[in-house]
Amino acid sequence: MNSDKNDLYKKSDKPKKNRQNLVENLCKSLNYSFKNQQLIKIALTHKSYSHTNNERLEFLGDGVLDFVIAAELYKRFPKLQEGILSTMRSHLVRQESLFEIAQNLKLNDLILLSSGEKHNGGDQRPSILADSVEAIFGAIYLDGGFESVQKVILQIYQEKLNNLNNLNNLNNLNNSQIQQNNRISQTDLKDSKTQLQEFLQAHKLGLPKYALLIESGTPQQPLFTISLQIKNVEIYQCTAISRRIAEQQIAEKLLQELNQKNADGSLNLKNLQKLKKKIRDGRNKSLKNLDVLLAERQNNNK
């Protein structure tokens, strides 16, 4: 790790002029112009690249983001209880949401990494890119104050917040519907892995397991193939750019099948019965294979 430099771009493997153009495009997307350009440079610098990096800005931005989102939810949903508001906030500020924002802002083209970290695919890693988004929020707060960063955050989150407005028609509840709707919304906002785990436990199918089968791709663009197993029976496989994303995607796929509804809104149990049969058949096959293996060993020992 090299010592601090006045210009953090000197070590970049991209031409300085091209990089400046990319930063300018980023600021246009944010609808914000930095008075102190050094702040945005630091926000886009990973700890592997320089002692002057975005860790402190990420810490600051994390707190700013939490407060802005909490305040906005409090204002938008005056009838909702603390529990559902907390679930909504967690849903909006979780790593997956920040990673999606980072991809939209094309931060993988901007984040400064050591050659080793970049070779290992750091510019595609959700945790690094999500932290960079928070670091940018921290930088804007220091550069322009709270109102500036609040404006940027609410602009970026506008669609996600509007989607929450439409979730179960939250703004049109009467008092008698509040408690019931809180339960429904908290379920809707939980991540797919949590929802699947709760669904399987409710139907006495045990806990899902996620196993890494194959790690492929290149260091710059790694791919992870995950197996979803229930009672040691493989149900699905999924490949994505990170284990976490693959696990969420594979859980979401099974959830969509299990949560299919009938015309009257009741749960369609057809896919649940198929899943139970697949688990039962898979376990029976494993037992038969075990019986064959034990029989072969007994014969070999005679």
Dihedral sign, Cα of residue 67, residue 68, residue 71, residue 76: negative
CA dihedral 69, 75, 79, 84 (to 10 degrees): 0
The closest of 208, 217, 185 to 258, measured between CA atoms, is 208
State yes or no: is 62 an active-site residue: yes
Locus of tokens 């949590």: 194
238: β partners: 226
Of 58, 134, 143, 247, which one is the catalytic site residue? 134
The closest of 155, 115, 143 to 57, measured between CA atoms, is 143
**Kind and range of the H or E element at 185?**
helix 175-189
What is the rounded CA–CA span in Å between residue 81 and residue 77? 9
State yes or no: is 82 an active-site residue: no
CB 200 within 8 A of CB 230: yes
Residue 132 tokens, joined: 């960079």
Of 62, 117, 123, 131, which one is the catalytic site residue? 62
User: Where on the phi/psi map is residue 226: left (φ > 0), alpha (ψ -120 to 50), or beta?
Assistant: beta
Active centre residues (catalytic)? 62, 134
